[in-house]
Amino acid sequence: MLDIGWAEMGVVAVIALLVIGPKELPRTMRQVAHWFGKAKGLAREFQSGLDDIVREADLDDARKALNATRDFSPKKIISDTIDPTGSVNEEIKDLEKTAKSDADDEIGGAGQGDTPQASIVKQPAQVAPAHSVTPPSEPVQVEPASDAPNSGAASSEAGNDTSKQSA
């Protein structure tokens, strides 16, 4: 702390003995020790005060972190990430207001006859949904083919019979 070695302390002790004298030296040493004790106590109190401040600061940080986890809202985090300025949200609200006012105008003007009416159209159950690739079809019945060798001859004879009848 003060970097005083044994040699320096010996020199100070000899000077103190010569200046103060042997009679008053023990009482003076007690007072000096008392002052050093008070200074040491003040330093300890100051250090503990700083430790308390640091501990409270850590507790405040811990409280803030705890409150942040309590207020955790994934919806808010996502909306802040996607639209930090809130401009998209404002546009959506404006569009909703406009659509609502347009719908109210159409409903309010329904008795006047000059505005077209909106109607709900329901699709029949047999119609394919708009997102399907191929529409549903009727099942096609296929006649089984026979493995008989004369089946080709029979059909050609049947064809000949029909051609003879038409001639």
pLDDT digits (tens, 9 = 90+) for 28-66: 989 989 999 999 999 999 999 888 888 888 888 888 887
pTM for the model stands at 0.33
Residues in contact with 110: Cβ distance below 8 Å, sequence separation at least 6, in sequence order: 117
**Mean pLDDT highest for which of 19-28, 50-59, 154-163?**
19-28
Q: Which residue has the tokens 């309590």?
A: 70
Q: How is the chain split into domains, by residue range?
A: 25-72, 74-108
Q: How confident is the model at residue 145 (pLDDT cuts 50, 70, 90)?
A: low
Distances (CA, A) of 83 to 41, 46, 89, 127: 57, 49, 8, 41
